[in-house]
A and B are shown apart, each in its own frame.
Chain A
Amino acid sequence: MTQTATQRPVHWRPARVAEVREETATTRTIAFDVPGWPGHVAGQHVDVRLTAEDGYQAERSYSIASPPDGHRVELTIQRVPDGELSSYMCAEMRAGDEAELRGPVGGWFVWHPEESTPVLLVAGGSGVVPLMAMLRERARAGSTAPFSLLYSVRNPEVALYAGELDALARDGGGLDVSLLFSDAAPEGTTRPVGRIRPDDLAGTGLPAGSAGRAYVCGPTAFVEAVAGLLADHGYDPSNVRTERFGPTGG
């Protein structure tokens, strides 16, 4: 048995920005080219380190948005008010710029395309990023494992990957996607606006109990609340995998 992607040594690697894509008004995807990248598994993250001319350094963790693809690592960064890295990366960073990445990191919050277990994904805000990597990997691998995404956002303007999620859901192949708006919803939305509720879980049609696996990602308070709802809904806590971003992000 060779070393899996979750067992290789990790260290800082030079990375160069290959491409920048605006996603919403406050988020941007930055595609890095990382020579020697050992590959990664959907759900993993990287640590990014930026160094100023005078040697000052700052680092933050970001989930990988892209499925494994050679040397390419894509991150979707949300601009956080006063965010030390995010304000630079969302405004200033451009193709050709250099940074350092350490990773991939994370051996538990991962999904492998060989798995056929039904999966519930629950995302709060930018917590959708690692779950999107899983959905993109699922599509790339042609997996038909039943997947359901519950994606909680404040309003439609801040929903990430909206077009792509719509297309993936309409493709058939066992994925359904629900956007849950907490502040403002598009006209005609039947679900009353508000935070995620027990009713939202009932709608997915996925098995709970020992058969169900869930991945929950977002700010710590969101993840704690959802983990509670899942336990009430019959999920075995050992099948609920969580990734907490901390109070803000970066």
Chain B
Amino acid sequence: MAVVTRGFVGRRDPTTAQLPPGQYLTPDFPVLSAGPTPRIAVDQWRFTITAETGSQHGWTWRELLDLPSEQPTVDIHCVTKWSKLGTHWQGVSLDTLLEPVQTQAGYALVRSYGGYSTNLPLADLRGGKAWIAYRYDGGDLPAEHGGPARLLVPHLYFWKSAKWVSGIELRTDDMPGFWETMGYHSYGDPWRDQRYAGD
């Protein structure tokens, strides 16, 4: 049983918002990362969806920006316990990007510039639940928060919203990503407190 420190509350907002179990509201936007911030020039940027057959669909930066975009306002929940409500983004829905892709795959492995990866069921990228986001809070997505573009899939813990996204592999088997191979939950539903494998 840990020692309790009198009067310590931490960086938490006392307002009673409806949060997933174990989460605390934060006024700021913490930067968490596994390595140095990749610096990717938009003229070099590519995003590629690779189907389980090997066939590829790719977009340049210009092509991404030319696609119809949406401006979702969403709550985000990090497994390190902070939550941020009502965040404003702009991006292209994965429904739009997956439209031309022929696939029977059930799973997705998301890859990022810099080597990060994360996995989730393909169904969780569809149905208006995920975007490739390139604007945050009215401005270009800053590099430290995943710019030029990141995956945004807010119904799962935020480690699934891969920063500096470079592509998605569609797979018939579920392949664990960077943190999923290190004890984190394969699915990661914040409302069921699915932080660690076996939760």
Contact between chain A and chain B defined by CB under 8 Å? yes
- A67-94 interface (Cβ within 8 A of B): 82, 84, 88, 92-93
Q: Which residue of chain A has its CB nearest to the CB of B24? A: A56
CB-nearest residue of chain B to A100:
B3
Residues in chain B near residue A58, CB distance under 8 A: 10-11
Measured between beta carbons, the chain A residues less than 8 angstroms from B10 are 50, 52, 56, 58, 84, 88
Candidates A12, A15, A82, A88; contact of B8 at CB < 8 Å = A88
Q: Which residue of A lies closest to B81 (CB)?
A: A56
Q: A56-B12, A82-B28, A84-B11 are in contact. Are A97 and B2 (CB under 8 A)?
A: no
A49, A52, A92, A93 pick with most chain B CB within 10 angstroms: A52
Question: A51–B5 contact, CB under 8 A?
Answer: yes
Q: How far is the CA of A15 from the CA of B11 in the complex (A)?
A: 22
Residues of A within 8 A of B41 (CB): none
CA distance A12 to B3 in the complex (A): 10
User: What is the interface size of chain B, counting residues whose CB is below 8 A from a CB of the partner?
Assistant: 14
Q: List the B side residues contacting A55 at CB < 8 Å.
A: 2
B4 CB–A CB distance under 8 Å: yes
Assembly CA distance A57 to B28 (angstroms): 18
Residue B9 is within 8 A (CB to CB) of chain A in the complex: yes
Question: Is there a chain A Cβ closer than 8 Å to B6's Cβ?
Answer: yes
Chain B residues closer than 8 Å to A84, beta-carbon distance? 10-11
Q: How many residues of A sit at the interface, in one of the four size bands?
A: 20 to 34
Assembled-state Cα–Cα distance A207/B81 (Å) = 50
Known A49-B2, A51-B2: A92·B7 in contact at CB below 8 Å: yes
Asked if B6 and A98 sit within 8 Å, CB to CB, the answer is yes
Contacts of B12 in A (CB 8 A): 56
Q: Please, how many angstroms separate the alpha-carbon atoms of A141 and B11 in the complex?
A: 41
Complex Cα–Cα for A167 and B67 (A): 69
Tell me how far the C-beta of B8 lies from the nearest C-beta in chain A, rounded to whole angstroms. Answer: 4
Which of chain B's residues have a CB closer than 8 A to the CB of A50?
Answer: 5, 8, 10
- Flag whether A199 is at the interface (Cβ < 8 A): no
Say which residue of A56, A92, A98 sits within 8 Å of B3 (CB atoms).
Answer: A98
Decide if A146 is an interface residue (CB 8 Å cutoff).
Answer: no
Q: Which of chain B's residues has its CB closest to A58's CB? A: B10
Complex Cα distance, B4 from A99, in Å, reads 7
**CA separation between A98 and B1, bound complex, in Å?**
13
Do B3 and A51 have beta carbons less than 8 Å apart? yes
Whether A232 is near chain B, meaning CB under 8 Å from some CB there, is no
- B35 → A minimal CB distance (Å): 14
CA of A84 to CA of B28 in the docked complex: distance in angstroms? 12
- Which residues of B sit under 8 angstroms from A14, Cβ to Cβ? 3
Taking Cβ atoms with an 8 Å cutoff, the residues of B that contact A are 2-12, 24, 28, 81
For the complex of A and B, the 9 pairs showing the least CB-CB separation, nearest first, are A50-B5, A84-B11, A50-B8, A51-B2, A98-B3, A14-B3, A52-B8, A92-B7, A51-B4
Using a CB–CB cutoff of 8 Å, the interface residues on chain A facing chain B are 12, 14-15, 49-53, 55-58, 82, 84, 88, 92-93, 97-100
